[in-house]
């Protein structure tokens, strides 16, 4: 018989033994041959061996192994085979093995006893879990089974370097923990062990013990814990009071929470003592008095322990809060210092947040309801305190109180609104103002009638009164806060219906005004409208109301301003300025992206004809002095052409499955406008709109025709003429649109762009265009506006084009090399770092050369690229440490602040390289970094301090 590698297990016993077990030699030989000569993996061969055995023979095999074989004297692979045989038998012969009773458990204990190999231990731990989970008989061997597994606790294993098996310490810890926490029968042996290990000086042992205790509480009951509760509480309390480790503290609190939850869930008989009450009483006895200590040293540890226990169940919460909440309220009144009051209020807040878990409060049980007046008084007093930090805690507490159903009375709610308005509008500190607005946004959906009936009218009144006052800085700031508050509170559809008309009415008034600051006012209104749009995107009703209210209104105001502008100078009309139009773009985009296809189709049927045919009937107040023709020629229509930005915001945000009427005509008009318009803003927005539509256009003949038309238009315009820069902008955006969707034409357009790097006029702009190709665009061509963006498009672009950039750099003249370096640095700067690290050896020399380029953009982009590489690829970077040190120190004196900051950050990152490489440069770097310490810019000085400090500590003990 041909033997295989698994026969080493059978070899010591010989064929005679196999014959005795299996009945006759042919069957023995067949069994072994089937298990050893198969080409399948060993585990499958051993399972096949189990499957050919007749009933009862599995028991005989195991008995023979248990009685005749000293398993721990075998090689690791043979021991692993024994464990695998047992595992397979447990899976296929469960009833037969259970017939052995406790003998099977005892036999396995003998097999496992003394095992040290982690590969075998993982299998052995799994067998123990199966023994318990499948209810095998443990008999009198519970303690022996516990001892044979618990001897490995806590796990102390460090995997060898380059371990091919990949077994980590955490794998063994989790596997053993699952064993120890698998049955309450281990409790009397395990809990003393855990208490002992919690007192260990090793943090890893403490953490493992605490995590195991937490896991045990999920399967233990009151009976298992009763004897050990005092010792467990003593150990947990000591660790929380004394430890300096946040990890240990967190695990102690988790364990206490689990103990309290376990006692809360235990089913009690009529004559059984309720251990939860006595356990919580012990906690209160040991912690409560610390809340009253004048020095407040142990206030926070005590509060954390109490909150951990109280958070386990509603019963535990009531038991603790009955004693603690009145005490905290009393302490808040006794202390007059804001810092002490803040600490007490933060503790009170912790208990308030726990109440949120239990939902509705019962009148007869809730301590919080009985203390409603006192709690509200404390929170409201914090809101009027001059200390900002106390105010912030008070605002958080107010938010929690408002979320508790039935807690605040109608008069309390009116007072809440008054406080929030005062803080949002008149509080000098920005943090408190912003926090109050966030709180209003959180509470508005809970009390929509209160906020729409009280807060919105008050804000509208404030806005109106401020509008009539002088445009001083303070009044402008107050108007801005009013607008922000109106947006923040718009978190419910009914409130959105109130706030949106107020914001639009204010925008109309600003448009009619003539103040110098009207442009900034319009931007503020648009920012508030954008925030409202984002907040109601997930609500179908609110989103549609917002869209059909805001989008036509903005378009009507813009069209009205553009038509009036046809016979007047452009200056003075704030609504048509680039800053305002750019602020309106995200408003319209956010109002469109989440529309259903049906509603989007209804809207697009109005907006596109407006721009193509001048169809204004759907606009409010549509009596305009002349026709709207943004795609017609004529200098007097320049203002109308600027509104293509609003068309871009709308059509480029539509879902891909929404058909755009007259799309081919629209694309042709946009193509002409983007190449011929003298206004850079209009030409760019037309190019972006064209690119956004091309990106979503279904593949086919129509797309090929429009792309060919675009190429035919761009190529001659790029070669010569007055519109070369506009055409380059169009080329960049169309290339990006096609690169994102892996269109075949993208490679041709990219080659065209690479060719322009050698152009004296367009080369620098073309190089900057590589940043546009790789970066995320904020308004079009991103996933948020439903663009067709394929995964790993950056990696593909890198693979296809970086070799061409490198080749072009080597072949370019001295004056053009900077363009190739700039393009390369932009590509690398946006590439995922793991990809860049793999390509670093071939590209590093070019990156170092880019640091010598005089172009500030190249310098900044290259430094931004190198900084993470110093941290992620120190071995490769250390080969060029001399050049890196020289370049970085030189750039710390750059006239550009951003370059100086980036160079200092790179000098800081250099300290991650091997110390032996850096030590020869230590003195030189420390001397050079003394100069930036006196830089006139604070941010530069800050980076210089951090970098120089790290270099000072280089080579120090413990580093």
User: What does the pLDDT look like over 766-794, one tens digit per residue?
Assistant: 999 999 999 999 899 999 999 999 999 99
In this prediction, residue 600 carries a pLDDT of 93
Contacts for 587 with CB less than 8 Å, ≥ 6 apart:
526, 529, 530, 533, 550, 554, 649
- The per-residue pLDDT of the chain, averaged, comes to 87
Q: Is the pLDDT of residue 957 over 80?
A: no
Q: Give yes or no for a contact between 65 and 110, defined as CB atoms under 8 angstroms apart.
A: no
Q: Is the pLDDT of residue 448 over 60?
A: yes
Contacts for 462 with CB less than 8 Å, ≥ 6 apart:
421, 425, 478, 482
- The whole-angstrom distance between residue 450's C-alpha and the CA centroid of its chain comes to 34
Note if the bond before 678 is cis, omega within 30 degrees: no
Rg of the chain over Cα atoms, rounded to whole angstroms, equals: 37
pLDDT 10s digits, 790-818: 999 999 999 999 999 989 988 888 888 88
16 confidence band (pLDDT: 50, 70, 90):
very low
What distances in angstroms separate CA 106 from CA 56, 101, 248, one per listed residue? 19, 9, 37
In this prediction, residue 18 carries a pLDDT of 45
406 confidence band (pLDDT: 50, 70, 90):
confident
Contacts for 753 with CB less than 8 Å, ≥ 6 apart:
731, 732, 735, 766, 769, 770
pLDDT 10s digits, 207-231: 999 999 999 999 998 889 999 999 9
User: pTM of the prediction?
Assistant: 0.81
In this prediction, residue 686 carries a pLDDT of 95
351 confidence band (pLDDT: 50, 70, 90):
very high
Q: Is the pLDDT of residue 22 over 60?
A: no
Q: Is the pLDDT of residue 396 over 80?
A: yes
Q: Is the pLDDT of residue 2 over 50?
A: no
In this prediction, residue 54 carries a pLDDT of 79
Q: Is the pLDDT of residue 514 over 90?
A: no
Q: Give yes or no for a contact between 845 and 877, defined as CB atoms under 8 angstroms apart.
A: no
In this prediction, residue 569 carries a pLDDT of 52
Q: Is the pLDDT of residue 636 over 80?
A: no
Q: Is the pLDDT of residue 94 over 80?
A: yes
- Which tokens in the block code for residue 302? 């005590």
Q: CA 646, CA 611: separation in Å to the nearest integer?
A: 10
Average pLDDT over residues 836-844: 84
Average pLDDT over residues 451-463: 92
Average pLDDT over residues 684-705: 94
Q: Give yes or no for a contact between 245 and 203, defined as CB atoms under 8 angstroms apart.
A: yes
Phi first, then psi: give them for residue 948, nearest 5 degrees.
-65, -35
Q: Tell me the percentage of the chain whose pLDDT exceeds 70.
A: 90
Q: Give yes or no for a contact between 397 and 344, defined as CB atoms under 8 angstroms apart.
A: no
Helices (H), 202-313: 203-217, 222-225, 229-242, 246-265, 275-287, 299-310
573 confidence band (pLDDT: 50, 70, 90):
confident
Helices (H), 361-492: 367-370, 372-383, 388-403, 410-426, 430-443, 448-450, 456-468, 473-488
Q: Give yes or no for a contact between 288 and 327, defined as CB atoms under 8 angstroms apart.
A: yes
pLDDT 10s digits, 175-210: 999 999 999 999 999 999 999 999 888 889 999 999
Which one has a higher pLDDT value, 957 or 596? Answer: 596
Which one has a higher pLDDT value, 861 or 730? Answer: 730
pLDDT 10s digits, 891-928: 999 999 999 999 999 999 999 999 989 999 999 999 99
């Amino acid at each position: 018989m041909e033997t295989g590698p698994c026969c080493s297990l059978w070899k010591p016993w010989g064929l005679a033994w196999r014959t005795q077990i299996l009945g006759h030699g042919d069957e023995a030989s067949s069994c072994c041959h089937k298990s050893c000569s198969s080409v399948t993996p060993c585990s499958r061969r051993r399972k096949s061996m189990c499957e050919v055995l007749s009933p009862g023979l599995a028991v005989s095999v195991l008995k023979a192994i248990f009685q005749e074989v000293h398993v721990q004297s075998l090689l690791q692979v043979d021991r692993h085979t024994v464990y695998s045989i047992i595992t397979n038998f447990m899976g296929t012969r469960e009833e037969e093995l259970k017939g052995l009773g406790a003998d099977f458990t005892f036999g396995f204990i003998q097999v496992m006893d003394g095992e040290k190999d982690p590969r075998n231990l993982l299998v052995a731990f799994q067998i123990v879990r199966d023994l318990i989970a499948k209810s095998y008989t443990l008999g009198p061997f519970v303690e022996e089974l516990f001892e044979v597994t618990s001897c490995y606790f806590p796990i102390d294993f460090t995997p060898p370097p380059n371990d091919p098996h990949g077994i980590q310490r955490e794998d063994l810890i989790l596997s053993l923990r699952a064993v120890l926490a698998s049955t309450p029968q281990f409790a009397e042996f395990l809990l003393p062990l855990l208490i002992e290990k919690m007192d260990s000086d090793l943090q890893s042992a403490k953490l493992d013990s605490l995590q195991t205790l937490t896991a045990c509480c999920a399967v233990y009951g009151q009976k298992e814990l009763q004897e050990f509760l005092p010792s467990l509480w003593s150990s947990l309390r000591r660790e929380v009071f004394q430890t300096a480790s946040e990890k240990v503290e967190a695990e102690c609190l988790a364990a206490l929470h689990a103990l309290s939850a376990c006692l809360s869930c235990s089913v009690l008989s009529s004559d059984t003592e309720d251990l939860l009450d006595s356990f919580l009483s012990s906690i209160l006895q040991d912690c409560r008095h610390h809340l009253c200590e004048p020095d407040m040293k142990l206030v926070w540890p005590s509060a954390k322990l109490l909150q951990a226990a109280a958070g386990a169940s509603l019963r535990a919460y009531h038991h603790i809060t009955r004693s603690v909440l009145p005490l905290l309220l009393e302490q808040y009144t006794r202390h007059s210092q804001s810092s002490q009051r803040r600490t007490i209020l933060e503790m009170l807040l912790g208990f308030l947040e726990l109440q949120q878990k239990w939902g509705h409060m019962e009148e007869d049980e809730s301590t919080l309801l009985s203390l409603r007046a006192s709690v509200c008084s404390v929170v409201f007093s914090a809101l009027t305190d001059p200390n900002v930090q106390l105010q912030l805690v008070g605002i958080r507490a107010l938010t929690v109180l408002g979320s508790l159903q039935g807690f605040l009375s109608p008069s309390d709610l009116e007072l809440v609104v008054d406080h929030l308005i005062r803080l949002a509008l008149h509080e000098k500190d920005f943090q408190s103002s912003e926090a109050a607005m966030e709180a209003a946004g959180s509470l508005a959906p809970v009390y929509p009638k209160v906020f729409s009936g009280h807060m919105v009218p008050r804000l509208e009144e404030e806005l109106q009164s401020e509008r009539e006052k002088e445009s001083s800085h303070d009044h402008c700031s107050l108007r801005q806060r009013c607008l922000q508050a109106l947006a923040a509170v718009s978190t419910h559809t009914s409130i959105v219906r109130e706030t949106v008309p107020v914001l639009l009415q204010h925008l109309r008034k600003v448009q009619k005004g003539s103040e110098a600051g009207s442009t900034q006012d319009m931007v503020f209104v648009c920012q508030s409208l954008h925030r409202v749009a984002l907040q109601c995107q997930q609500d179908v009703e609110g989103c549609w109301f917002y869209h059909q209210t805001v989008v036509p209104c903005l378009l009507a105001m813009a069209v009205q301003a553009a038509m009036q502008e046809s016979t007047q100078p452009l200056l003075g009309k704030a609504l048509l300025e680039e800053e305002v139009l750019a602020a309106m773009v995200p408003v319209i985009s956010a109002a469109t992206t989440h529309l259903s296809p049906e509603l989007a189709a209804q809207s697009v049927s109005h907006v596109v004809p407006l721009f193509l045919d001048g169809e204004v009937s759907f606009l409010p107040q549509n009596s305009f002095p002349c026709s709207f023709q943004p795609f017609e020629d004529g200098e007097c229509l320049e203002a109308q052409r600027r509104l293509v930005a609003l068309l871009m915001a709308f059509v480029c945000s539509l879902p891909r499955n929404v058909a755009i009427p007259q799309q081919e005509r629209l694309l042709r008009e946009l193509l002409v406008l983007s190449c011929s318009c003298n206004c850079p803003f209009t030409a760019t927005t037309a190019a972006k709109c064209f690119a956004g539509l091309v990106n979503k256009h279904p593949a086919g003949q129509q797309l090929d025709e429009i792309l060919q038309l675009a190429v035919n238009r761009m190529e001659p315009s790029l070669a010569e003429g007055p519109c070369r820069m506009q055409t380059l902008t169009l080329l960049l955006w169309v290339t990006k649109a096609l690169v994102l969707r892996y269109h075949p034409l993208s490679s041709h357009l990219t080659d065209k762009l690479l060719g322009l790097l050698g152009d004296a006029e367009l080369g620098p702009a073309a190089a900057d265009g590589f940043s546009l190709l790789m970066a995320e665009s904020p308004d079009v061509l991103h996933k948020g506006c439903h663009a067709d963006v394929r995964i790993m498009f950056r990696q593909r672009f890198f693979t296809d084009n970086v070799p061409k950039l490198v080749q072009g750099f080597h072949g370019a003249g001295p004056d053009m090399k900077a363009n190739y370096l700039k393009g390369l640095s932009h590509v690398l700067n946006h590439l995922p770092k793991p990809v860049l690290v793999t390509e670093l050896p071939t590209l590093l020399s070019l990156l170092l050369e880019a640091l010598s380029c005089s172009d500030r953009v190249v310098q900044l982009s290259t430094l931004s690229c190198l900084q993470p590489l110093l941290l992620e690829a120190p071995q490769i970077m250390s080969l060029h440490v001399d050049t890196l040190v020289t370049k970085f120190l030189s750039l710390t004196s750059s006239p550009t602040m951003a370059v100086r900051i980036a160079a200092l950050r790179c000098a800081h990152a250099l300290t991650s390289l091997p110390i032996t490489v850096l030590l020869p440069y230590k003195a030189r770097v420390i001397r050079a970094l003394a100069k930036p310490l006196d830089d006139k810019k604070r941010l530069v000085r800050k980076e210089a301090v951090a970098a120089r400090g790290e270099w000072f500590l280089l080579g120090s003990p413990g580093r």
